[in-house]
Amino acid sequence: MIVGDTDGVLVVPAALAEQVAHDALEQESREAWALERVKAGESVRGVYPLSEARREEYEAWRARTNDTGDGA
């Protein structure tokens, strides 16, 4: 798999492509939650990166918003 943008190009071995894509979608989901929390006036502390103390809250948000982290 080859991915590129204005910053450069990345080559991912085919055997890792599915896992890399899954991880990238999960990261996008966590960042969407973090952005929502920060826009609501919260500090980034514990929100980004996601702390274990906030994981349950994030998972509940994901369930409510139907954000599965899989691009669906």
Give the predicted TM-score (pTM) of the model: 0.81
**Helix (H) or strand (E) segment spanning residue 10:** strand 8-11
Per-residue pLDDT band for 66 (boundaries 50, 70, 90) equals confident
Question: Tokens 């899989």 sit at which residue?
Answer: 70
The whole-angstrom separation of Cα 72 and Cα 26 is 11
Q: Rounded to whole angstroms, how far apart are CA atoms 69 and 72?
A: 8
Q: What is the mean pLDDT of the chain?
A: 92
43-52 pLDDT, tens digit per residue, is 999 999 999 9
First CA to last CA distance, the chain = 20
pLDDT > 70 fraction of the chain, expressed in percent and rounded: 92
Query: Is the pLDDT score of 37 beyond 70?
Result: yes
Q: What is the dihedral of CA 20, 23, 29, 30, to 10 degrees?
A: -130
- Higher-pLDDT residue of 71 and 31 is 31
